[in-house]
Amino acid sequence: MAEAAIELVGISKSFGAVRANRDINLEVQKGTIHGIIGENGAGKSTLMSILYGFYQADQGEIRVNGKPTVIRSPNDAIANGIGMVHQHFMLVDNFTVLENVILGAESNALLNSSISKARAELKRLEQEYSLFVEPDAVIEELPVGLQQRVEILKALYRGAEILILDEPTGVLTPPEADHLFRILKQLKEQGKTIVLITHKLREIMAITDNVSVMRQGTMVATRETAKTTVEELAELMVGRRVLLRVEKGEPALGAVKLSVRNLTVKDSRGVTMVEDVSFDIRAGEIVGIAGVAGNGQSELLEAISGVRKAVSGTVTLDGKPIDLTGAADPGELRDRGLAHVPEDRHHVGLVLAFEENENSILGYHDKPHYLNGPFLNIEAIRRDAKEKIEKYDIRPSDCRLKTANFSGGNQQKIVLAREIERDPGVLIVGQPTRGVDVGAIEFIHRRLIDMRDQGKAVLVVSVELDEIRSLSDRILVMFAGRVVGERGPDATEGELGLLMAGVEQQEAAE
Amino acid sequence: MSTPYAKLPRWADYGLIPLINLLVAFAVAGLVVLLVGENPFRAAVILVDGAFGSGPGIAYTLFYATSFIFTGLAVAVAFHGGLFNIGGEGQAYFAGLGVALACLPFDGFLPWYLIFLLAILCSAVFGALWALIPAYLQAKRGSHIVITTIMFNFIASSLMVYMLVDVLKPTGSMAPQTRQFLEGAQLPRLGFLFDYIGMKVRPSVPLNISFLLALFMAFLVWVLIWRTKLGYEIRTMGFSPKAARYAGISETRIIIVTMLISGALAGMMAMNPIMGDQHNVPLDFVAGAGFVGIAVALMGRSHPAGIVPAAILFGMLYQGGAELSFEMPSISRDMIVIIQGLVILFAGALEHMFRPAVQAMFASVSPKSVGVVAAKGEGA
């Protein structure tokens, strides 16, 4: 057995009554990549925040290289050789790479000497780990993949021997993610220890040596990656067997339900986000839009659902045009059979401060059976909410509970139940399973396929490539506001990944 | 890890925490009294006794509270819609014209209840009108409602001076106010009710029937906010304008309607001092009630069931404070303003200061009562 770089013994942490971590034991071997996997809210981030000194454990001991260590702040963590790459980068956008690297590690009041020292050190790190980034580039001008590299460099610059990465691939294209994995492997070969937090099983299998599974604040198992399977890990995470890929039959195509022609949309700053996009969706099919976040998918959805003004182009629903001037009434579109599950359920699809039953009528609150004249028909609303809770297995099954107290998966089910139960002809769904636990993903995918099988037209936008490939009958790839390719459901990940990175388009332009 | 702190039981949320905030406010106020060189405990006794110790004391407390209920409700309705109506002062002041319009032409021959109904209508309409312009500017032009409503307070103030001095003042009178109302426009006083509980209240104590109207309005506001489609739309807008847009709720319409209701509620406050007490429309009859309404709404957490007691609390500070400055000359009326300020500071701005501690205490005493773990763990 190799030496342990980190040992956590009996770590517990509560927030009020929520026990985020319960008696956690973890041993990470030196020079390995150790994955920590678990659903949202399983306590992974809390555990790592304790290790990095953001929180103090209520109980338990941390040992770094065999020595009991007290970590009270990130500075203590860094002093002990622990570095962290956050999910949301902690970079100053308008600073250069070099300035960001030395931020907080300036050796004296005048920056000159620090900067020249840092420049030399960066060069060394680059060569050692082939982590090249232009030191004088300004952060906001770098693509996310490179920004992440700066985060890693920051940690290495501070002498990190142990690197914690929190959901590092969430913002990356598949090629960028692959590159990151190559970097991580190289770091491992140089003797660094890496802790990788993720909820993506595929990444765990691809890169880790060992994997620990967390569920509901406890550490349920640690496995050698080579000796486990995706199915076993999924089962450990959820606590029961899960189907990772939904079964679906051949689509039974019907008439064109939704037709988008030459649609161009600008965002609030006036930047063109969607450019000349055209496609059709027929009854009985699921069309998936793949792409890295921020390539115009959000704006496309908003324009189609009538909440964002389009610059030009047309969208027709059942042959009749949709008002794209920004003055469209989403209520009227609902009446015409267009249901929309927005990407941002926290601010758009739900009002988190509302009781569950109040959210179950959002957008349909003016329908006669929820009303008695100007008054809400509270009884009907709650009865209706209870039926949906039952049918969609929303937990806890309390329609008076504040929506904020439901987990991500259950919140998404509240939105889906509301939109699907109105029996729309067209359903557009943004990020159907973002922040949703594995168990609920299966359920949500099943419902979407059911909709398709009932002859509805379904448009799914997702940054999860696996999800797009698993659900879609046709896949459109968006890059920089354009649809750069259409593929069938059997397209390989590599092929889609290249499209998502805009590679093919660049080649075509040359 | 979306909820760092667990939920509290309702009674603690709405009872215990405001109480703690209040006690701290009074403790700090006590220190100030000490600095002035008076005994804070004696001051507290005088204050509470002045407000609640006698029939007239209670009646005065409730008289002041009446105004604060109206203005508190006005602020609360706007809060629910995500709007901060600071203009209650001006809306109530302008509504004084509506009251005058209802009273002056008719007080000679209509019975009080008809004039009362007419005055409710007129004061509400005038208050709403004064809120309409800022509402329109916010909805259509994006001019911030806080700024415009503040400015409208000043405009109302100047306008009322002009109206009272140059238009409504009877010729030959020295006082910048309307003529004295006749009996038809004088609201029945409620002092007689105290006879039933064995307390004597002079008929000159101005607690009047608009107190009952205020309570009724509190009920109506509850119905509006939590039981009507409009209230649902107002709350959706207040919590999340994006969700409102998504749900097909027109922002323009909700901003305007919410502010009209808010202004109408503030406007009704005018009846209390005018028809219940002064029996004329004087200068500055609002006397800060519009601003106190902000504190009342904050302290009452924008819920009518919280606003009524909060208004009574501020009524107590007004009434008891008057007694206090009478009994202890070294404590001026300004001291009362300081105490009010401290209450606002602790109940409003620092509302959440003691929450983590209280929550930790609850969690350690009875984890079950806090009950959020269940919601977390069972993720399907």
- Over residues A468-495, the pLDDT tens digits come to 999 999 999 998 899 999 999 888 888 8
Residue of chain B with shortest Cα separation from A349: B243
Residue B379 pLDDT > 50: no
Summary mean pLDDT of chain A: 88
Among the ranges given (A95-104, A242-251, B28-37), the one the predictor scored with the smallest mean pLDDT:
A242-251
Distance between first and last Cα of chain B: 17
Within 19-58 of A, beta carbons closer than 8 Å to B belong to: 19-20, 39-41, 43, 45-46
How far is it, in rounded angstroms, from Cα A274 to Cα A295? 8
Chain B residues interacting with chain A (CB cutoff of 8 angstroms) = 1-7, 223, 227-233, 235-236, 239-240, 242-243, 245-248, 359-360, 362-363, 367, 370-380
Chain A nearest-CA distance from B367, in A, is 6
Indicate the Cα dihedral angle A280, A283, A286, A288, nearest 10°: 20
A15 to chain B: which residues are within 8 Å by CB?
Answer: 1, 3-6
How far is it, in rounded angstroms, from Cα A124 to Cα A262? 50
Contact check, Cβ <8 Å, B227/A440: no
pLDDT tens by residue, A274-308: 999 999 999 999 999 998 877 889 899 989 988 88
pLDDT tens by residue, B5-32: 446 777 777 778 878 888 898 899 899 8
Q: What are phi and psi of B343, to 5 degrees?
A: -60, -45
Contact check, Cβ <8 Å, A347/B374: no
The enclosing H or E element of B244 equals helix B241-246
Chain B nearest-CA distance from A3, in A, is 32
Residue A131 pLDDT > 90: no
Query: Tell me, what's the ipTM?
Result: 0.82
**For residue A101, with 0-12 CB atoms within 10 Å meaning exposed, 13-18 middle and 19 or more buried, which class applies?**
buried
Q: Give the residue among A469, A479, A470, A476 at the shortest CA–CA distance from A500.
A: A479
Contact check, Cβ <8 Å, A15/B1: yes
Neighbours of A111 (CB within 10 A): 14
Return the exposure string of A150-184: e unless at least 16 CB atoms fall within 10 Å of the residue's CB, then b: bbbbbbbbbebbbbbbbbbbbbbbbebbbbbbebb
Distances (CA, A) of A113 to A95, A117, B201, B220: 18, 6, 83, 70
pLDDT tens by residue, A326-344: 777 888 899 999 999 998 8
Residue of chain A with shortest Cα separation from B363: A17
Question: H-type helices in B163-209, by residue range?
Answer: 193-196
Decide if B53 contacts B255 (C-beta within 8 A).
Answer: no
- Locus of tokens 């509901």: A216
B380 to chain A: which residues are within 8 Å by CB?
Answer: 393-395, 409-410, 413, 437, 439-440, 443
Chain A nearest-CA distance from B188, in A, is 33
Among the ranges given (A111-115, A355-359, A442-446, B291-295), the one the predictor scored with the smallest mean pLDDT:
A111-115
- Residue B366's pLDDT is 55
More confident residue, A310 or B198: A310
Which band of pLDDT confidence, cut at 50, 70 and 90, is reported for residue B372?
Answer: very low
pLDDT tens by residue, A171-227: 777 788 888 899 899 899 989 999 999 878 888 888 999 999 998 889 999 999 999
Contact check, Cβ <8 Å, A18/B7: no
How far is it, in rounded angstroms, from Cα A142 to Cα B95? 59
Contact check, Cβ <8 Å, A374/B229: yes
Contact check, Cβ <8 Å, A374/B246: no
Contact check, Cβ <8 Å, B227/A409: no
| Range A449-469 average pLDDT | 92
| Range A25-31 average pLDDT | 93
Residue B335 pLDDT > 60: yes
Contact check, Cβ <8 Å, A348/B242: yes
pLDDT tens by residue, A393-420: 898 889 999 998 887 888 999 999 999 9
| Range B127-156 average pLDDT | 96
Q: For residue B176, give every residue at least 6 positions away whose Cβ sits within 8 Å of its Cβ, in sequence order, or none.
A: B161, B164, B165, B169, B282, B283
Indicate the Cα dihedral angle A198, A202, A207, A213, nearest 10°: 50
Q: Give the residue among B350, B349, B371 at the shortest CA–CA distance from B359.
A: B371
B359 to chain A: which residues are within 8 Å by CB?
Answer: 16
Chain B nearest-CA distance from A104, in A, is 28
Cis peptide before A396 (omega within 30 of 0): yes
How far is it, in rounded angstroms, from Cα B49 to Cα B57? 8
Residue A500 pLDDT > 50: yes
pLDDT tens by residue, A164-186: 998 888 777 778 888 889 989 98
Residue of chain B with shortest Cα separation from A352: B239
The enclosing H or E element of B134 equals helix B112-136
Which band of pLDDT confidence, cut at 50, 70 and 90, is reported for residue B293?
Answer: very high
- Residue B45's pLDDT is 93
How far is it, in rounded angstroms, from Cα A139 to Cα A146? 9
Structural domains of chain A, with CATH: 4-238 (3.40.50.300), 256-349+422-509 (3.40.50.300)
| Range A104-111 average pLDDT | 70
Residue A45 pLDDT > 90: no
Decide if A158 contacts A105 (C-beta within 8 A).
Answer: yes
A361 to chain B: which residues are within 8 Å by CB?
Answer: 232
Strands A375-376 and A426-430: unpaired
Q: Give the residue among B29, B38, B63, B138 at the shortest CA–CA distance from B314.
A: B63
Neighbours of A312 (CB within 10 A): 11
Q: Is A216 helix (H, G, I), strand (E, B) or coil?
A: coil
How far is it, in rounded angstroms, from Cα B88 to Cα B294? 9
Query: In the numeric block, which tokens belong to residue A293?
Result: 């976040």
Q: What are phi and psi of B266, to 5 degrees?
A: -60, -40
How far is it, in rounded angstroms, from Cα A429 to Cα B63? 56
Residue A19 pLDDT > 70: yes
Which band of pLDDT confidence, cut at 50, 70 and 90, is reported for residue B200?
Answer: confident
Neighbours of A356 (CB within 10 A): 26
- Asked if A351 is an interface residue toward chain B (Cβ–Cβ < 8 A), one would say yes
Which band of pLDDT confidence, cut at 50, 70 and 90, is reported for residue A109?
Answer: low
pLDDT tens by residue, B245-260: 999 999 999 999 999 9
- Asked if A328 is an interface residue toward chain B (Cβ–Cβ < 8 A), one would say no
Which band of pLDDT confidence, cut at 50, 70 and 90, is reported for residue B66?
Answer: very high
Contact check, Cβ <8 Å, A351/B7: no
Indicate the Cα dihedral angle A25, A30, A35, A40, nearest 10°: 50
Q: In what order do the strands lie in the sheet with A67-69?
A: A18-29, A4-15, A59-64, A67-69
Contact check, Cβ <8 Å, B245/A407: no
Decide if A302 contacts A326 (C-beta within 8 A).
Answer: no
A18 to chain B: which residues are within 8 Å by CB?
Answer: 3, 6, 372-373, 376
